[in-house]
Amino acid sequence: MVTKKLKVIPDERGRLMEILRSDDELFRGFGQVYITTAYPGVVKAWHYHQRQFDNFAVIQGMAKVVLYDPREDSPTHGEINEFFAGIHNPLLIQIPPRVYHGFKCISAEEAVILNIPTKAYDYLNPDEYRLDPYNNTIGYDWERKDG
Amino acid sequence: MVTKKLKVIPDERGRLMEILRSDDELFRGFGQVYITTAYPGVVKAWHYHQRQFDNFAVIQGMAKVVLYDPREDSPTHGEINEFFAGIHNPLLIQIPPRVYHGFKCISAEEAVILNIPTKAYDYLNPDEYRLDPYNNTIGYDWERKDG
């Protein structure tokens, strides 16, 4: 899993932010661009892909983006990674194939996640494998941790 | 200039919308992805590019996207095109090289424009040519037309 810090350029008109460039070191090809959003409190999880890399950027609101690595051959096998990404932490998160991922909207406004996967979605044969967000073997608790 | 109607899939969790796919008929290569936003009433204009195509989608709020074709060799030479694009009209607008374009935020909330140009921005030698939004030879009035 690789990340890239994004740079916002704000001015009196609005903001500008580059997200992914074809000359970025982490660029691995272009499949498509889509957005997926979540209302406050909503969890969209768990997914993984066999072939594609995902490139997530939260461009509106804030989301908790969580990764779980079930790959037996990986140095981060069994590990959970939490990112608090969005307008207060502009970040590109690259998710490799076979790594479970999902997100929860933690802001009072809709969180908008932009994804640039390396393959276009195949309607007839989707490269997408799902687990229930709550009932699964990952054992991750999506609840907010107050303290 | 070519457009593609975008399809929003809303549910109780949020929304999902594909924007540009590598197998789309209008796809002409990937340079980068960035967002540019405008606060209510703000105009960002005029720009054109010598080499790149832009692919605009307004993914938050509403914007008036305006194109002006100054190309002598074009069947639409001298024409103005206005699009009211955004959450009420999800649309991908492809802007060819040498066509002036700009936008104005017409919603009460910030308009977020996603662009997927065919070339990555070259910091040292930008393929970007600008005119003042108001003082220019295009003669387009950005003011709201009430009626």
Asked if B7 reaches chain A (Cβ–Cβ under 8 Å), the answer is no
* Six token digits for residue B80: 């103005």
In A13-72, the residues whose Cβ lies within 8 Å of chain B are 13-23, 30-39, 42, 44, 59-60
For the segment A122-147, the average pLDDT, to the nearest whole number, is 95
Domain count, chain B: 1
Its domain, for residue A70, covers 2-7+27-115
In this predicted model, what pLDDT tens digit does every residue of A5-47 receive, in sequence order? 999 999 999 999 999 999 999 999 999 999 999 999 999 999 9
DSSP characters for B42-94?
-EEEEEE-SSPPEEEEEEESEEEEEEE---TTSTTTT-EEEEEEETTB-EEEE
Using a CB-CB cut-off of 8 Å, the residues of chain A touching B110 are 14
Question: Is the residue at A101 inside a domain?
Answer: yes
- Alpha-carbon distance of A52 to B85, in angstroms, equals 31
Question: Is the residue at B111 inside a domain?
Answer: yes
Q: Which amino acid is at B111?
A: A
Task: Decide: B126 and B96 in contact? Cβ < 8 Å.
Answer: no
Question: Is the residue at B135 inside a domain?
Answer: no
pLDDT recorded at residue A1: 80
Quote the distance between the C-alpha of residue B28 and its chain's center.
16
Whole-structure pTM value = 0.96
In this predicted model, what pLDDT tens digit does every residue of A103-114 receive, in sequence order? 999 999 999 999
Q: Which amino acid is at B127?
A: D
pLDDT recorded at residue A10: 98
Question: What is the side-by-side strand order in the sheet with A111-115?
Answer: A2-5, A91-95, A54-60, A111-115, A32-38, B15-21, B8-10
Asked if A120 reaches chain B (Cβ–Cβ under 8 Å), the answer is yes
* Among the partner residues A17, A23, A37, nearest to B120 by beta-carbon distance: A23
pLDDT recorded at residue B52: 97
In order along its 147 residues, chain B shows pLDDT tens digits of: 899 999 999 999 999 999 999 999 999 999 999 999 999 999 999 999 999 999 999 999 999 999 999 999 999 999 999 999 999 999 999 999 999 999 999 999 999 999 999 999 999 999 999 999 999 999 999 999 999
Neighbours of A113 (CB within 10 A): 26
Question: Is the residue at A21 inside a domain?
Answer: no
Where residue B47 sits, what CATH number does that domain have? 2.60.120.10
Using a CB-CB cut-off of 8 Å, the residues of chain A touching B111 are 14
Size of interface A-B (CB pairs under 8 A): 101
* Six token digits for residue B10: 């809303």
In B72-111, the residues whose Cβ lies within 8 Å of chain A are 105, 110-111
Question: Is the residue at A57 inside a domain?
Answer: yes
Question: Is the residue at B56 inside a domain?
Answer: yes
Nearest chain B Cα distance for residue A11, angstroms = 10
Neighbours of B75 (CB within 10 A): 7
pLDDT recorded at residue B50: 97
Cβ-based burial of B23 (10 A; exposed 0-12, middle 13-18, buried ≥19):
exposed
For residue A97, name the pLDDT band (cuts at 50, 70, 90): very high
Question: Is the residue at A139 inside a domain?
Answer: no
Question: Is the residue at B96 inside a domain?
Answer: yes
The number of C-alpha atoms within 13 Å of B122 and in the hemisphere containing its C-beta is 12
